[in-house]
């Protein structure tokens, strides 16, 4: 299976990647069920506590990442409290240079901004002034006012748009057919119950 690495660290904002992880793991409606394996990765393999109080034990440490199909970086208070999570930003930059997709939401975008990832790529975040506060950020001209932005292998999102963030991730992974992806988004982002019909169609005889 292709390995999708999901970073986990102290103060992680649980809700920001919940839609993405739940539906990557749930193979229903996938274009190729069983294609992806979701692996949690920490700075070490010591347990961490999320912002919501969940205790999570990483599957591997950051030094053990290999053969990645994507790296997902959730927000966390730690992104704004120092450089403890800088190894994840450096790893993201390394993976992008190698052609591996990276998806970052909320505070994780600040880490990528400090790493210089945004200087040559379209991106979004909580707000442009938030990124302009980050030392090393030179991407003002590439900032896009949008809920989620994909530029090549880089996906970024505002902290208030976890569904849009998930949609961009699914599209990059080619997880669903375009019709199913559209229905999924209409259901979870717009509460369009008519989308159930399109979602159920792939499993119909």
Q: What is the CATH number of the domain that holds 143?
A: 3.40.50.880
> Does residue 103 lie within any of the structural domains?
yes
Give a yes or no: residue 124 inside a domain.
yes
140/62 Cα distance (integer angstroms): 29
Tally of domains in the chain: 1
Residue 196 lies in a domain: no
Quick one: tokens of 179?
A: 């019709």
Domain membership flag for residue 202: no
Structural domain of 130: 2-176
Question: Going residue by residue through the chain (205 aa), what tens digit of pLDDT does each one get?
Answer: 699 999 999 999 999 999 999 999 998 889 999 999 999 999 999 999 999 999 999 999 999 999 999 999 999 999 999 999 999 999 999 999 999 999 999 999 999 999 999 999 999 999 999 999 999 999 999 999 999 999 999 999 999 999 999 999 999 999 999 999 999 999 999 999 899 887 886 554 3
Q: Strands 48-49 and 55-56, how do they pair?
A: antiparallel
Q: Is residue 92 part of a domain?
A: yes
88 with 120: CB under 8 angstroms? no
In whole angstroms, give the CA distance from residue 157 to residue 22.
18
Q: Is 72 part of any domain?
A: yes
Q: Is residue 107 in some structural domain?
A: yes
User: Which positions are annotated as active-site residues?
Assistant: 106
Tell me, yes or no, whether 146 lies in a domain.
Answer: yes
């Amino acid at each position: 299976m292709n390995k999708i690495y999901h970073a986990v660290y102290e103060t992680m904002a649980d809700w920001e990647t919940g839609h993405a992880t739940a539906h990557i793991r749930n193979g229903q409606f996938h274009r190729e069920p069983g294609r992806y394996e979701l692996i949690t990765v920490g700075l070490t393999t010591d347990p961490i506590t999320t912002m919501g109080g969940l205790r999570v034990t990483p599957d591997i440490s950051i030094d053990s990442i290999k053969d990645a199909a994507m790296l997902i970086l959730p927000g966390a208070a730690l992104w704004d409290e120092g450089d403890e999570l800088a190894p994840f930003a450096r790893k993201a930059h390394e993976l992008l240079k190698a052609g591996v997709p990276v998806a970052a939401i909320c505070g994780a975008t600040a880490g990528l901004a400090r790493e210089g990832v945004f200087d040559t790529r379209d991106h979004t975040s909580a707000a442009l002034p938030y990124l302009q506060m980050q030392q090393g950020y030179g991407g003002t001209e590439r900032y896009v006012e949008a809920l989620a932005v994909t530029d090549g292998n880089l996906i970024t999102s505002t902290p208030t748009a976890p569904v849009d963030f998930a949609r961009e991730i699914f599209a990059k992974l080619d997880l669903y057919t375009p019709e199913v992806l559209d229905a999924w988004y209409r259901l979870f982002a717009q509460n369009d119950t008519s989308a159930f019909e399109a979602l159920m169609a792939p499993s119909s005889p």
